[in-house]
Amino acid sequence: MLTDNISRSEDGSLLFAGQSVSALADRYGTPLYLMDEDRIRENCRMYREAFRADFGPDSLPLYAGKAASFRRMYRIVAEEGLGVDAVSPGEIATALSAGFPAEKIYYHGDGKTDADIAFALDRGVGCFIVDNGNELVSLNEAAGERSVCQKVLLRITPGIDPHTYAAINTGAVDVKFGVPVETGQAMEFVRAALTMKNLSVAGLHCHVGSMVFDEDVFLRTVDLMVGFMAEVRDELGLVFGELNLGGGYGVRYLDSDPPCDIPARLREVAAHLKARLSEASLPLPRFLMEPGRSIVADAGMTVYTVCSVKRIPGYKSYVITDGGMTDNPRFCLYGARYTVLHAQKKAGLRAIFDLAGRCCESGDIIQPAISLPAGTARGDRIAVCTTGAYNYSMASNYNRFPRPPIVMLRGGENYLAVKRETLEDVLALDI
């Protein structure tokens, strides 16, 4: 199986985290997001332990809430001792409502409004990751009005192509995030930040992209960031105390995807970082990263019920489910690939289908050309694996479909973490 939390019982029925997927679907209905809490905790611990060992006790992985943001998730992350990367008042509010400590929240975003800045300052968010010069000025003013000195990291664009989907390539020079080093603007950004009386500049941030498999992407990023840190020290006399390299490690969606040994990668990054810093005579800063996908992706599975099976002789066949691009828009947006399994049957003749949703749009495909039992029929349960990241968090109410619930699986038990949306919820704001 793709991941070791997916298996089959002797009679062929699909198990996730050791629990029957069909039984969970019977109990909670479909479409249904399942989240393996034990796996989330293992992934958090893997980061925490690797960070401690490689970057020292001061280092901290921040869970990137954009991957899956709901109250229960932040409780788990808090218990596992990670910080949080939040990108909106909504993510901040969700984390705070779970009792997540405000000082361990790093607040991102390239378009923070005055209201957003006020919201985060008033709640004592630990650190702003300042994206650009406009934000620097507005944040400094707002902090001054409150007589606080706000800790900030400055987001730098390193100009590195991580060879990932274009839409999630965030490190190249001409992206909308951060301030580029190559054009000389990053140095001006740091210079300007140092004149802001109400900001305390703790360090630098960068993020080169998501679904990064290329081994040397983070090593090249280290080269660039350490080079820039040395330039800043030489020109402005400032030695940064924090370095945040963003998120991005890839996960396996298909059996054919390469594995990403994250602890091994982190060891390499640490060795490379320490070597570059020592060449530049710089001390090891407090090290941060912001993993999202690699903490939750393999903890997720989505379960659907088949509504219809359509065969178009000489063309193709569809399995049409009760979900779709509303709960998983990632194939539509990125051509993202997934492993799809029948929840009951595994043996027998197979056929190729497009797994479709029920939105009124022919592009509403969850996954094209997948192999399922030829006899797949209305009422069967279908599971899409590795949907823990960027599925629930990107879900929509297109066609006014209510969003699915999230059920957590822990130690052989299961419980509801997010309720199924109702038509009343969908209609709640209409006047």
Hey, which residues are catalytic here? Answer: 360
- Of 23 and 219, which has the nearer Cβ to ligand LLP? 219
Find the binder of ligand LLP among 203, 247, 323, 405 (CB under 6 A).
247
Q: Whole-angstrom Cα distance, residue 203 to residue 287?
A: 10
Per CB under 6 A, does 210 bind ligand LLP? yes
Angle at 79 between CA 411 and CA 34, to 5 degrees: 40
Structure tokens at 77: 């992350």
Residues in the interface with ligand LLP (CB under 6 A) total: 21
Which among 337, 355, 373, 372 is positioned nearest to 256, based on CA atoms?
337
Stretch touching ligand LLP by CB under 6 A, among 33-41, 130-138, 213-221, 242-250: 242-250
Binding range to ligand LLP, per CB under 6 A, among 63-71, 73-81, 115-123, 347-355: 63-71
DSSP 212: B
Number of C-alpha atoms within 13 angstroms, CB side, residue 395?
26
Q: Which of residues 327-366 bind ligand LLP (CB under 6 A)?
A: 330, 334
Query: Which residue of 168, 172, 230, 332 would you call a contact of ligand LLP, by CB under 6 A?
Result: 168
DSSP string, 96-124: HHTT--GGGEEE--S---HHHHHHHHHTT
Q: Which residues pair with 128 in a beta bridge?
A: 107, 152
CB of 389 to ligand LLP, least distance (A): 6
Distance from CA of residue 91 to its chain's centroid? 12
Contact between 290 and ligand LLP (CB under 6 A)? yes
Measured from the CB of residue 109, what is the shortest distance to ligand LLP in angstroms?
Answer: 9
Closest alpha carbon to 404 in 319, 315, 303, 264:
303
Residue 293 touching ligand LLP (CB under 6 A):
yes
Q: Cβ closer to ligand LLP: 165 or 318?
A: 165
Site residues (CB under 6 A) for ligand LLP, limited to 79-138: 85, 108
Residues that bind ligand LLP (CB under 6 A): 64, 66-67, 85, 108, 168, 170, 207, 210, 246-248, 290-294, 330, 334, 390, 394
